[in-house]
Chain A
Amino acid sequence: DTEVTQTPKHLVMGMTNKKSLKCEQHMGHRAMYWYKQKAKKPPELMFVYSYEKLSINESVPSRFSPECPNSSLLNLHLHALQPEDSALYLCASSQDQWGLYGYTFGSGTRLTVV
């Protein structure tokens, strides 16, 4: 299995809702990442987990809450989002945060906040 699987593919949520995005990989990768990509813009790093511990938080608002329950899973919990948070959320993984291993990206969750 050489894929990063993200669910759901599409999500529409209200500003008072709580939802979660899921990301899964079975490549034995020990680093996992969340990126946010607005329309016509490049991806921007949000969080890095390394060996299931939060390694980088790029000053993301607390309405986004990441969680790494085990080495294969990465969640992004969403609460009280704003319409400007609508974007494509990409998960990626790599063998390790500290080496030259490259990254595998998932297909993303397209989030619309109404």
Chain B
Amino acid sequence: EDKVVQSPLSLVVHEGDTVTLNCSYEVTNFRSLLWYKQEKKAPTFLFMLTSSGIEKKSGRLSSILDKKELFSILNITATQTGDSAVYLCAVENQGGKLIFGQGTELSVKP
């Protein structure tokens, strides 16, 4: 059965800290891995990763995929209170189905 596991499930840090969120997966017919940020409502797209070893970067956020070891990490540097959210990792299979992990709830304290 396809499975996506995120760790940690929750994390509390202080502003300015750097955090690393983990996502491991076992999905047949892998197509891509996506990271989303979810605050109150809709998940907001962060990154789509398809190739191993190529870092994607957007401001203070970056992510990388390892297709051999079947995991991805999402890094956030110099965290701010506005980064507080649930971060969802999802793996897309060839049929266009997204399998989500449980999410990591990040809380950034002032």
Nearest-CB distance from B97 to chain A (Å)? Answer: 6
What B residues does A50 contact at CB under 8 A? 96
B84 within 8 A of A: no
Pair B96/A94 contact, Cβ less than 8 Å: yes
Tell me the dominant secondary structure on chain B's binding face: strand
What A residues does B97 contact at CB under 8 A? 45, 48, 56
Quick check: which of B13-21, B42-50, B53-61, B63-71 contacts chain A, the rest being far away?
Answer: B42-50
Query: What is the interface of chain B, defined by CB distance below 8 A to chain A?
Result: 31-32, 34, 36, 41-45, 48, 50, 88, 90, 94-98, 100-103
Query: What is the interface of chain A, defined by CB distance below 8 A to chain B?
Result: 4, 31, 33, 35, 41-45, 48, 50, 55-56, 88, 90, 94, 97-98, 100, 102-108
Query: Which 9 pairs across A and B sit closest by C-beta, in order of nearness?
Result: A42-B100, A97-B96, A105-B42, A107-B41, A107-B42, A105-B43, A108-B41, A102-B48, A43-B100
